[in-house]
Amino acid sequence: MYRKQTGCGAARLSAEALEIIRTYRWPGNVRELKNAIERAVVMGKGDEISAADLGVAVSESEVAARPQLLTLREAERRHIEYVLRQVDGNKAEACRILDIVRSTLYKKLGDSS
C-alpha cells in the first residue's frame, strides 16, 4: 500500500524484520505497526525492509524471552531432567510421575546411570 502511494520503497521484508513484526509487543497496537511499516518503506534503502528500517528498539531481554524451538526429543529430555531435579534425583519417583519404567528413563536420557 505504501509502496503504491509513494512509488518507491522496498518490495519485501527481510527475515529479521518479519521476526520483529511477529514478536514485538506493539504497545501502540496497529497504529504503531502501521507507522513503522510506512517509515520503513519511505526511509528504507534497497529492495528489502531490514529490521533496522522498522525503527523498533528490541531489547536483549525481549530476544531472550522468545521461546526456543526444540526437537521433540530435546523437549522430552529437558522435561525428564526437570522432573528429576524436582524430586532430588529420585529416579523411582521420577518414573512414577512420568509414567515410564526405569529402563525407558535411562534410554530417553541417553545414559546408563
Residue 9 contacts residue 45 (beta carbons within 8 Å)? no
> What was the pLDDT predicted at 101?
96
pLDDT (mean) for 17-26: 82
CA distance 48 to 14: 6
Domain 72-109 sits in CATH at 1.10.10
Of 12-16, 53-57, 93-97, where does the model show the most confidence?
93-97
Residue 57 contacts residue 28 (beta carbons within 8 Å)? no
The pTM assigned to this predicted structure is: 0.47
Percent pLDDT > 90 in the chain is 20
Provide CATH 1.10.10 ranges for the chain.
72-109
Provide CATH 1.10.8.60 ranges for the chain.
2-65
Domain 2-65 sits in CATH at 1.10.8.60
C-alpha Rg value of the chain to the nearest Å: 23
Q: Tell whether the model's pLDDT for residue 74 goes beyond 70.
A: yes
Burial of 20 (0-12, 13-18, 19+ CB in 10 A): buried
